[in-house]
Structure 1
């Protein structure tokens, strides 16, 4: 059996990495014991047999991927992109809430109440109060029927899709690719993603409501109502996290104009985004509640400022996950012998490029 061939995989030096990969030569000073994270070991069984799987890279390569993710996060100016997405999120938030409450209204008041209860434990108090207050106001307002209602929902859908359009541009920046998809293809994609996210949120609220009732019914049959309900109150959160990761995975797959092997239900970047968002949200809420001085600094605007900062942090987490998935894709393509230079992957469509 031939000795495994070791190819340099230093993410910070793409020219040297690419030339060594193309030559297929052994790194003169590295071996299997000293090559830690900055090289690929070929002819060694990967973590999975599917080279397109999100976790197909050897364990040695993940440290290099993480380093490259941090570096590219700064190089791609993702803090600025997060600020831009925060602006679009504010413009899209209330039209999105209108769409969501319209769908939940078809399912009864319990579905909306379940959504409000789920939101009640996330984010700082000021941000939570703004969102929950908007949902309650829309729920209690008098509905508009007929053609005006349809026009209002279509307008809300278009307004809410503005955030998705901005995220698609940010994703193209992460993958270092131009938007080559024509207008008639981008707009339906934006609207479809918006509808998908809103429907997923509505189904999540319905699932929490329905399964909570099932848990209560099952506990009554078993004579363990309090125990079963208590277990469900804990178990529902991993389910919600999986649904959030699913929505983010769909967003990461459809947004950039790059050819990706396939759509994975859950990606490492999606999981990272959810976990970072949860940790950052609780951390920021703790800071605002115990150490922050927003009320003294901003007075009556403190709630708005806290809400905007929380949205910015949330978008940072979302973009960080997208960056990780992009660097994993770069690593997979390099492992198959392709160039690791920008763009990360070939464009999906080039018709709108100059």
Structure 2
């Protein structure tokens, strides 16, 4: 048996994995992920407030609460309860204060969210080894990325609302509910991959060609995040209890840990893309030449 032939396809995988491991150590991606998680803790609730406020001008804000339930399998129970309570409070507040005051508070919320997006952008620059944008352009780009991510969230909510209407067109009968569940999870996965593609393409300060919308790093980031989140939630539900160690702030610590897992997954995906592009650079497509054929 020729083991070299068997192991040969695994050599590129090993090289990429080794390069990503070196990137984690040399660029301190784990420490950067911890910083991103810290900023995310302050940015998540303003971001949710902005999404609820903007969606409230279009449709029922209760849709946001319904979609939050899809995170229950990935977020620890204590952390999920913190998110749910805050979302419930924001929905009730939005219903009673819809108007110009909501627009002003939404602008403030988006500006607060910018700090979290800016931290993630700096982390992605570190993962790709690119030079960050500084000064005015750095702030402006963070604001642009924040608006783009909020727009993606609003489009995702709109798709979720339209999805049942589209499925009712087809005579699925008793399979309608199952088809709706599959369609919702498929849509969620697609939106997540699209969001990762948006981040990987436009958040870092790329000088050359940008990554593809659907990249190996985005797929791996989604898989790593899903597996690690479910494993962490399972551990917290069966063996871990941060409340016994940290008391009343145990739920906040659990949520912060989940943000760290999410940030590290995104940065690992970016590191995979950077390593893959360095070892297997894409060739630029040849342009069509309009030169006349040589004379015979």
TM-score after normalising by structure 1 = 0.72
Aligned residues of 2:53 and 2:102 also touching (Cα < 8 A): no
Q: Tell me how far 1:122 sits from its aligned partner.
A: 2.9
| 1:200-220 C-alpha deviation (Å, 9 max, x unpaired) | 1222122122212332x235x
| Cα separation, partners in 2 of 1:212 and 1:260, compared to 1, 3 Å | farther
User: Which protein is richer in helix relative to its size?
Assistant: 2
What SS does the aligned partner of 2:280 have?
helix
What is the alpha-carbon distance in structure 2 between the residues aligned to residue 190 and residue 155 of structure 1? 14
Aligned residues of 1:172 and 1:257 also touching (Cα < 8 A): yes
Match of 2:109 among 156, 162, 178: 156
Q: Tell me how far 1:232 sits from its aligned partner.
A: 2.2
What is the alpha-carbon distance in structure 2 between the residues aligned to residue 149 and residue 210 of structure 1? 25
Aligned residues of 2:216 and 2:272 also touching (Cα < 8 A): yes
Equivalent position of 1:185 in the other structure: 137
Q: Mark the runs of 5 or more structure 2 residues left unpaired by the alignment.
A: 284-296
Aligned length: 277
Q: Mark the runs of 5 or more structure 1 residues left unpaired by the alignment.
A: 1-31, 38-58, 337-354
| Cα separation, partners in 2 of 1:177 and 1:116, compared to 1, 3 Å | closer
What is the alpha-carbon distance in structure 2 between the residues aligned to residue 268 and residue 34 of structure 1? 23
Equivalent position of 1:85 in the other structure: 36
Equivalent position of 1:13 in the other structure: none
Match of 1:100 among 51, 58, 82: 51
What is the alpha-carbon distance in structure 2 between the residues aligned to residue 82 and residue 262 of structure 1? 22
Equivalent position of 2:184 in the other structure: 236
The 5-angstrom pairing of residues 311-322 of structure 1 reads 311-322=259-270
Q: Tell me how far 1:271 sits from its aligned partner.
A: 1.0
Equivalent position of 1:293 in the other structure: 241
| Cα separation, partners in 2 of 1:33 and 1:290, compared to 1, 3 Å | closer
Q: Tell me how far 1:60 sits from its aligned partner.
A: 5.1
What is the alpha-carbon distance in structure 2 between the residues aligned to residue 203 and residue 88 of structure 1? 25
| Cα separation, partners in 2 of 1:305 and 1:182, compared to 1, 3 Å | closer
Equivalent position of 1:302 in the other structure: 250
Which structure would you say has the larger Rg?
A: 1
The 5-angstrom pairing of residues 39-78 of structure 1 reads 61-78=12-29
Equivalent position of 2:292 in the other structure: none
The 5-angstrom pairing of residues 1-354 of structure 1 reads 36=8, 61-105=12-56, 106-141=58-93, 142-143=96-97, 145-146=99-100, 148-179=101-132, 181=133, 183-215=135-167, 217-218=168-169, 222=171, 224-333=172-281
Q: Tell me how far 1:33 sits from its aligned partner.
A: 5.5
Q: Tell me how far 1:144 sits from its aligned partner.
A: 5.1
Higher relative contact order (CA 8 A, sep 6+): 2
Q: Tell me how far 1:257 sits from its aligned partner.
A: 1.9
What SS does the aligned partner of 1:289 have?
helix
What is the alpha-carbon distance in structure 1 between the residues aligned to residue 150 and residue 188 of structure 2? 14
Equivalent position of 2:291 in the other structure: none
What is the alpha-carbon distance in structure 1 between the residues aligned to residue 208 and residue 127 of structure 2? 14
